[in-house]
Amino acid sequence: MSLPPRPPTAPAPAEDARPRTPHAARRLFVFYLACGVFFILAAALLFVSAEGLMLARVGFALFGLLFGAIGLGGLRSAGPVQLINTALNLLGQGRLAEAERLLDEAAKSVRRGPNLRALLTQRAIIAVRRGDLDAAARAADAAVNAPGSLLGSSVDRVQWTNARSIRAFVRASKGDRDGAREDIAAVRASGDALPHALARAALAELILTEKGGDRAALRALLLEQGTILREGTDPRERAIVRAFQRMLKAQATTVYRQSAPREPEARAAEEPALTEWIAKIAPAAAPFVNAPRSAPKGEALPVPAPASAEAKRAVEAARAQAAASARPKRARGILQRLAVVLALSALFFAIFYFQSSAPTLGEDAHEEAADVVLALTGQLSGAVVIAGLAFFALTIRRAQVQAKRLRKAAIGVPTGAPEAIPELERISAGNLDMLAAEAHLHLAFASERGGDLQAALTHADQGIGRLTRYASKALSSDILLPELVAERAFLLAALGRGDEAMAEIESLNPAYPFLARARFRVRLMRLVQAGDLDAAARLAAEGALDLPLNARDELLADAVRVAATPERVGAAEVARVKEDLQRVPALRRWMEAIAPG
C-alpha cells in the first residue's frame, strides 16, 4: 500500500540515532529457520525413500513450513522493529524529525502486519504533535486500513485498536462527529484495547461533547471516565483534560483563571507550544491551559555518575536469584507439556493403528514383518508429529485466551475491579513464561501504585526471573523485559538504592522505545531522594511534557516544581497539585511512599 505524504524533514543531525546492534532475537530466528529447513528436507527424504509414511511426510512438511515462516518473518521484522521502537523513543524526547527518518528507513522493508500499523500510527502521532490534523487523519486512516498478517495477528489487533483510538482523537478534533463516534465505539467494543487506547477514546468523546456545547454532559463524562483519563493518557492529553476541568470551574475571579507570571512558554523546536497546540485540538480549552514556563537558565544539570562495580554485581546477583526462583515452575511446565505431547501422541497412534489394516504375517514372514514395522513406524512418527502440531495450536490458542484475560485485568487494576489482582496472580503462576512475566509487571505496577514498593520490587524480580531462558529473553527484549528492568530501576531509586538503579538503566536495550522515560524517572527520583529539588525542578521543566509519563510520574515532576519554584509555576498550578493529592487517595499514597518529605 502507498504511504501517506509527509512534510519535508529537517537536515539530519550529526548524531545517528539508529540502533547499532543486531536484534536480540536474531540468532533465535536463524535457529527457527534452520529447523524449518531441516524438517522440509526430512519430509522430502521420506517422500523419496520410504513408502507408507504419509502422515510423517505431511507432518514434517507442516513443521518445516511453520518454523520456516516464523524464522523468516522474524528475521525480516527484526531490523524494522528496532527502528520503529527507537523512533518512538525519539518521539518521547520531542525529536520528531529524527523519528521520521527512522520510520522512513523502516518503511522500506515493512509491507504489512503490526509493524506497518505501528509505523503509520507513529506518523499520525507525529502529525498530531505538530498540530497538523489533516496529515494526522491521512496517517491514521492508513494505519487503520493497513493489511494485516496471519503471524502476529493478536499483536496486530492491539495495534489496530490503538490506530482507531488515534483516529477517533483526530476526527473529534476536526469536528467529524460521526466518524469519531464510530471509532470510539470500535475501540470500546474491542477486547484488545489497552488502557491508553481506551483513554484516547474517552478523550475524543470529551472533545466531541465540548464541541456540542453540553456542559452538563461534559462534567458527567469527566466524572465517569476520570480514572481511565488519568491512568491512560500522556502529559499533553492530560493537559487537555485539566483544561476542560478548569473551564467548568472557572469564574472570572477564581484561582483557575489566574496564570503564572507572563514568561515565555516552554516549547520544543519541532512542535507548537502547549497552549498553541491545544488551541488546534480543542480551541475552547486553550484559554484554560496552565502551560509550563521555560526553565530558568542556570548551570547545566549534573550528569549522573555511572554505576559502580558493586552495584553491577548486586544486579547480577538479583538476576541469578530470580532465575533460580523461577526454575521449579519452569521444570513443572516442561513436565506438563511433555505429558500432554505424550498423551496426544498415544491418542493419535491408537486412532491410526485401529483404523489401519496392518499386514499380517504369512508365508514370507520376513518381508511381511518389515511391512508391519514400517507401518507401525509410520503410524508412530505420524502420531508424534500430529501431536506436536496439535499441541502447538492448543498452546497458541491458550496464550491468546490468557492474553485477553491479562489485558482485561490490567485495565481493571486502576479502575478498582475486584477480580483484576486475583486474575493477574493466576496468570503469573502459569507455565507460559512471557504471559506470566507480563502479569508480574502489572502486579508490580499495582503494588507501586498502592505504595508498597517492596512488593512491587518482588514482582519485578519474579517477572524478570520468568524471562531468563534464551528464547523468552530474546522474544521479550523489545518491550516486556526492558519494562520490567525499567520498573525495577525506578523502585530501587525510590528505595534509596540509586547506584543499583543506575546499573539497571545502563543494562537497558538501546532500542527500548521508552528508554528516555526510564532514564528520566530514575534521574528525577534520585534527585528527589538527594533533596536537590532545584535540580529536580529544572529536570522536570526541561523534559516532562513530551515523555509518555503516567499520572503519578507527572505529578511528582509537577510537585517538585511547585516545591522548588512556586512563584514560577503560579497559583493555579500550586492549587491543582494540592487538589490532586487531596482528591485522589491513590496518588496521595503513592507520593507518601516515594517522597514522604
Q: Tell me what pLDDT residue 396 has.
A: 82
DSSP conformational letter for 287 = G
Q: Tell me what pLDDT residue 13 has.
A: 43
The amino acid at 510: P
Residue with cell 492448543: 394
- Residue pair 197/162 in contact by the 8 Å Cβ criterion: yes
**CA separation (Å) from 48 to 43, 44, 53, 56, 64?**
9, 6, 11, 13, 17
Q: How far apart are CA 87 and CA 90, in angstroms?
A: 5
Q: How far apart are CA 539 and CA 523, in angstroms?
A: 9
Q: Which set of grid coordinates corresponds to residue 557?
A: 515532576
Q: Tell me what pLDDT residue 453 has.
A: 95
**CA separation (Å) from 160 to 92, 124, 167?**
21, 13, 11
Q: Tell me what pLDDT residue 493 has.
A: 95
| 325: CB partners within 8 A, 6+ apart | 461, 462, 465
Average pLDDT of each block of 10 consecutive residues along the chain (597 residues)? 47 56 86 90 76 70 87 88 93 92 93 91 96 95 88 82 96 95 95 90 95 91 91 91 88 43 53 89 89 63 85 93 80 72 67 55 51 58 72 82 90 86 93 93 94 95 93 91 97 95 94 94 94 89 84 91 84 83 86 83
Q: Tell me what pLDDT residue 112 has.
A: 87
Length of the chain: 597
Q: Tell me what pLDDT residue 252 has.
A: 37
Domain ranges in the chain are: 22-110, 309-356+374-511, 531-597
**Domain boundaries 309-356+374-511, CATH class:** mainly alpha
Q: How far apart are CA 29 and CA 475, in angstroms?
A: 10
Shortest CA distance to 92 belongs to which of 242, 239, 268, 264? Answer: 268
Q: Tell me what pLDDT residue 510 has.
A: 87
- DSSP code per residue over 343-396: HHHHHHHHHHHHHS------SSHHHHHHHHHHHHHHHHHHHHHHHHHHHHHHHH
The amino acid at 348: F
Q: Which set of grid coordinates corresponds to residue 448?
A: 507501586
